[in-house]
Amino acid sequence: MHDQLLALITGVVEELNERRSEKIPTEDLPGVVLYGDAGVFDSMHLVNFLALVEEALEDEFDVEISLTSEKAVSRRVSPFSSVRRLIDFIDEEMRLAAAS
C-alpha cells in the first residue's frame, strides 16, 4: 500500500509543481519535510496540499479520510513532518476505515 500511496502523493506534488515557481523535489519524496522550519509548505499551502491528497484518495481508493482531524494534529510525531510520515498516517487511517 505504501507504494500506491507514494505514487498518489507524487502525482499531487507533480500537479502542484506545475503551478509553483519553487518546485518541491521529487527525487527523494518520502524524505521531503512538509511543514515546519525546513518544510516546503507554509500553513495555508499545507492545507491546500492535504485537501488535494484527500480528494485523490477518494478518487483512487473510494475512501474518505480527514488528514486535518484532531487525531492527526494532536499526534506526538506530526504526520506532516515528512511525506513518509504522512504515508504512514494515511495507511493507518485506511486500515481503520476498512476494519469498520
Q: What is the pLDDT of residues 8-60, one digit of tens each?
A: 999 999 999 999 999 999 999 999 999 988 999 999 999 999 999 999 999 99
Confidence band of 100 (pLDDT split at 50, 70, 90): confident
Question: Please, what are the domains in the chain?
Answer: 2-99 (1.10.1200)
Region 56-69: mean pLDDT is 94
pTM for this predicted structure? 0.92
Max CA-CA distance within the chain? 42
Q: What is the pLDDT of residues 3-15, one digit of tens each?
A: 999 999 999 999 9
SS (H, E, C) 23-77: CCCCCCHHHCCCECCCCCECHHHHHHHHHHHHHHHHHHHCCCCCCCCHHHHCCCC
